[in-house]
Amino acid sequence: MKKSLGSLLLGKWDTPTVVAVAIGAALFGVLMNYGSITVFTNTRLTTAMLVPVIVGGLFGALPAAVACFFGNVFADLLGGWGYWFDWSTGNAVLGFLVGMLPVYGANIKEGKFDIKHAAIFAVVAVLANMLAFGVVTPIMTVLLYGGELTITFMQSFAATLSNITVLVVAGIPLLFALARRYAKGTNLSRE
């Protein structure tokens, strides 16, 4: 079943996708608050970064981005450190790029995820973090909050490093595990 690039990026917004994005956002919010270690002011080594990996792997890039954006808003809502929509936007971009798994052929639902996909995933994770927190977030910071770039850059640097660590060290084994889990159910063919 061949899908166009556009539909792979946008995802299919049927009911399971909506629910998965919602659960993903809630999970992101909870993990951002409780499943993380503070490394720098407002920056955490957080397992929440695994949410876009899963949502992206299963449902596509845009659902991952939406889950990240609202996940960050939920986290802000619960955490009480103020609303930082520049970071929400950065996270959405990151979620979109990290969630592009189906675009380069990895298909978690059919159990397709091998070393090649893992390598591409790692490279994309590094580039996505640099783009999201090195470029997009500072631009949004200037647009929305005006200035304070020293601290934003220091935060981005810490966030980039910790996110890459989480994505590569925990994300890749998780993807392998999920792919194996789904592969069990796919020796049936559609008639």
Contacts to another protein by CB under 8 A: 13-16, 18-27, 29-31, 34-35, 37, 40-42, 45, 47, 50, 54, 58, 66-67, 70-71, 74, 76-83, 85, 144-148, 150-151, 154, 169-170, 174, 177
CB of 34 to another protein, least distance (A): 6
The candidate with the shortest Cα–Cα distance to 95, out of 127, 140, 62, is 62
79 vs 131 by CB, closer to another protein: 79
DSSP string computed for 96-155: HHHTTGGGGT-BGGGTB--HHHHHHHHHHHHHHHIIIIIIIHHHHHHHHH---HHHHHHH
Q: How many CA atoms lie within 13 A of 62 on its CB side?
A: 12
**Please, which residue, 76 or 117, has the CB nearer to another protein?**
76
What is the smallest separation between the CB atom of 176 and another protein, expressed in angstroms? 12
Determine the Cα–Cα distance for residues 103 and 168; give it in Å rounded to an integer.
Answer: 19
When the beta carbons of 105 and 173 are compared against another protein, the nearer one is 173
State the nearest-atom distance from the C-beta of 2 to another protein, in Å. Answer: 25
Q: How far is the CB of 101 from another protein (least distance, A)?
A: 15
Q: Which helix (H) or strand (E) element contains residue 44?
A: strand 43-46
